[in-house]
Amino acid sequence: MAGRLQDKTAIVVGAGQTPGSTIGNGRAMAVLFAREGAEVMCVDAQLDRAQETVALIEKEGGHAFAVEADVSTTAGCEAIVATGKMHMGRIDILVNNVGIGAGDAPPHVIAEDVYDRIMAVNLKSAVMTTREALKVMREQRSGVILSISSLAALLGHDKITYEVSKAGMVRHIQAVAAGNAKYGIRANVILPGFMDTPMAMVGISAAKGITEEELRAQRDSHVPLGKMGTGWDTAYAALFLCSDEAKFISGVALPVDGGMNVTRG
């Protein structure tokens, strides 16, 4: 372990992942944080998926434990922070990393129940979990909050709820950063572009009715650097922003997208 997060405690919400041949953002962050010396609380809606991440961490000699939670409810968000504080004693890092888009549609046809579900999982969960974490971090007078948004916050098309929820995460983090700096708390957000993760490959290829290989080729062709990123690209950006190397960085929305944000029109 290089020790960039030595003796830190971290909650990674969405640390499990859809089964697949690659690694998701949440699992990659949890594994990398543990490699760098953090104790990691791995949260997921499906306990077995969080436990798989914990097993990977423990196999490498790291420290982690799994927690099941429904982040679409305020009670679930409150329980995440309470459990983290109880088991780890303090909360140095909170990563909000959940997102769904099933059933999303253009503005003129979006269904109310779909809108409510996506907003609850994507945005409300980050707002409520952050609210609870801030109580702990303000008392500590230190902490880092990181939300994983999406390049869709800047470069949307017609999946209105997903895009609005991810844009909302950016503004939320800006408000958190501005209002909590005096407590020694930093807050930033990452905007991943096209990423070769199980959720993207399995879910989007199925929705489009094409193979994962065909989808991969399509998405690679849109990335200026030539290929999609991976969960590790998100994880290394997260590691930097959550480490003391970024102690003077707060309120930033960082695209991790192979250059798409400045070239895609």
Please identify which of the residues 115, 162, 183, 236 carries the catalytic annotation: 162
> Which pLDDT tens digit goes with each residue over 227-247?
999 999 999 999 999 999 999
For residue 221, what are the domain limits?
196-228
Does the annotation mark 162 as catalytic?
yes
Q: Quote the pTM value.
A: 0.96
Q: What is the mean pLDDT of the chain?
A: 95
45 and 111, same structural domain?
yes
117 and 148, same structural domain?
yes
pLDDT at residue number 2: 77
153 and 109, same structural domain?
yes
- Residue 264 confidence (pLDDT) above 90: no
pLDDT at residue number 205: 85
Bridge partners (DSSP) listed for residue 112? none
163 and 219, same structural domain?
no
Query: Is 56 domain-assigned?
Result: yes
Paired tokens of 119: 């907003």
Look at the block and give the residue holding tokens 């957000």.
189
- CATH label of the domain that carries residue 132: 3.40.50.720
pLDDT at residue number 105: 93
84 and 53, same structural domain?
yes
When divided into structural domains, the chain yields a total of 2
Q: Are 98 and 153 in contact (CB under 8 A)?
A: no
pLDDT at residue number 230: 97
18 and 149, same structural domain?
yes
50 and 26, same structural domain?
yes
105 and 27, same structural domain?
yes
Q: What DSSP element (H or E) covers 163?
A: helix 160-180
How many angstroms separate the CA atoms of 40 and 57, rounded? 9
pLDDT at residue number 1: 46
183 and 94, same structural domain?
yes
Query: Is 264 domain-assigned?
Result: no
Indicate the angle between helix axes 231-242 and 25-35, nearest 10 degrees. 50
- Residue 28 confidence (pLDDT) above 60: yes
pLDDT at residue number 62: 98
201 and 125, same structural domain?
no
